[in-house]
Amino acid sequence: MAYLIPSNTKCPLYLKTFHQFGRLVSAVDTLIDSPEMSRIHAIIEWVDNAWFIRDLSKNGVWLNNERISANSLYRLTLADHICFADQKNISFVVENLDEPRDALIPYAEATQDNEQAKAPIYLEHYHFLPSEKAPEIIVFYDIAEKSWFCENFAEATISKISDGELLQFSHSMWQLIKGANISEKETVAINGKTEQKPTFIFNISQDEELTELTLQNDTDSISCDIRSHHYLTALLARYRSHDCHKSLPEHLQGWRTIEQLTKDIGLSESHVNIQIHRARKQLADKLQALGLYAPLLIERRKGQVRFAATDYKIFKGQTLEVDSTQLAGIS
């Protein structure tokens, strides 16, 4: 993630894909409250896999001590010196030119002293923070909503988080910077075939102690191995199939309370929540490693969860227990 170092602070200034500088509070990404600055003074943008600067101002932009032409793109290189309105106190050094990414960055006010700033947390769809063993919050990207969400683990509350919003965990304050636009990847399915939805195939041992999950479509098979959280996911798929047999409408199928899950699976509420998030994260990680994306595996609403997929099969031992394609005719 590219960043500049301002002349008046050691805090990195991380760049968005289209990053505006100026004194118009409602429009710019970096506010510079100075009479020499135009309302929108300059733009740094990511174009054709490189970073460029453009002058939109009256008082000019200097790149390496030379004034650049207005409304023209100038490619940035490492160690470039940028100066706005020929003011030495409004200057920056180009420190990093990596591609734009969404990230959580340490909140600027917490890094004004001489302490070394924490490294940014680059967001890759699903994160337990500060750690998977002791999560305080879970940050994840919902493809259907096209937004980042934050779940407070202790309170089990979920909220959408916007660009620039602050999050707190592990006694630290962090800010969401939406540097990248991943909308081009949001509809990608297995093997890039958006018309094909994967089928979730659960293989549960006869004694129900072991559960394996495999994702399949016409051309690919992705193993998610044997994991304890697959049993919880399979149980939610069973709930959905039971409701389908009852001819409940699709939007009502499969929803169960966390309390029922804790009773049926014999785990604490905290452990159930951990398993839900591990199931979601494993699927996201598996697909992301192949450059693929999918909606959340398990949906949540207040106090309830359900298995999100509509194409699934459940085998117990060698016997087919559920095939959702056969259930479709029932509902």
Position 217 scores a pLDDT of 78
pLDDT band at 287 (very low <50, low <70, confident <90, very high): confident
pLDDT of residue 138: 93
Do residue 176 and residue 60 come from a single domain? Answer: no
Identify which of 123, 126, 120, 119 has the alpha carbon closest to the alpha carbon of residue 281: 126
- Dist. CA 223–CA 128, nearest whole Å: 23
Q: What is the pLDDT of residues 99-138, one digit of tens each?
A: 999 999 988 654 455 455 678 999 988 999 999 888 999 9
Residues 216 and 320 in one domain: yes
Q: Both 167 and 263 in a single domain?
A: no
Mark which of 64, 96, 128 sits at the end of a domain.
96
Query: To which H or E segment does residue 284 belong?
Result: helix 269-289
Determine the pLDDT at residue 156: 75
- CA 85, chain centre distance (Å): 37
Dist CA 326 CA 331 (whole Å): 10
Q: What is the DSSP string of 264-277?
A: HHT--HHHHHHHHH
What is the three-class DSSP state of 19?
Answer: strand
Give the residue among 252, 227, 304, 295 at the shortest CA–CA distance from 273.
304
The pTM (predicted TM-score) of the whole model is 0.76
Which CATH number do you get for residue 83? 2.60.200.20
In this predicted model, what pLDDT tens digit does every residue of 177-196 receive, in sequence order?
A: 988 764 444 434 444 444 45
Q: pLDDT tens digits, residue range 187-226?
A: 344 444 444 578 899 999 999 999 999 998 777 788 999 9
Q: Positive or negative, the Cα torsion across 217, 223, 226, 232?
A: negative
> Which pLDDT tens digit goes with each residue over 225-273?
999 999 999 999 999 999 999 989 999 999 999 999 999 999 998 899 8
| Among candidate residues 141, 127, 136, 124, the one with its CA nearest the CA of residue 169 | 136
User: Is 148 in the same domain as 22?
Assistant: no
Question: Does 140 share its domain with 207?
Answer: no
Same domain, 317 and 211: yes
pLDDT in tens, 59-95: 999 999 999 999 999 999 999 999 999 888 899 999 9
My answer on whether 36 and 58 are in the same domain is yes
The count of structural domains within the chain is: 3
Spatial CA neighbour of 43 closest among 65, 76, 11: 76
Which of 134, 159, 183 is the last residue in one of the domains? 183
Query: Which of 129, 155, 183 is the C-terminal boundary of a domain?
Result: 183
- Residue 185, pLDDT score: 42
What SS3 class is residue 289? helix
Asked if the bond preceding 130 is cis, omega within 30° of 0, the reply is yes
Q: What is the mean pLDDT of residues 292-306?
A: 83
Query: Is it the case that residue 323 has pLDDT exceeding 90?
Result: yes
Whether residues 143 and 243 fall in one domain: no
Q: Which domain holds residue 302?
A: 187-327
pLDDT given at position 258: 92
- 160 and 206 share a domain? no
Give the pLDDT confidence score for residue 117 in this predicted structure. 64
Examine the pLDDT at 330 and tell me if it is beyond 60.
Answer: no
The predicted model gives 153-159 an average pLDDT of 83
| Predicted confidence band of residue 42 (pLDDT cuts 50, 70, 90) | very high
The Cβ of residue 207 has, within 10 Å, a number of other Cβ atoms equal to 8
Per-residue confidence (pLDDT) for residue 109, from 0 to 100: 56
State whether 37 and 125 are in the same domain.
no
**Is the same domain home to 199 and 239?**
yes
Identify whether the C-beta of residue 228 lies closer than 8 Å to the C-beta of residue 213. Answer: no
Q: Burial code of 16-41, b = ≥16 C-beta within 10 A, e = fewer?
A: bbebbbbbeeeebbbebeeebbbeeb
Same domain? For 191 and 165 the reply is: no
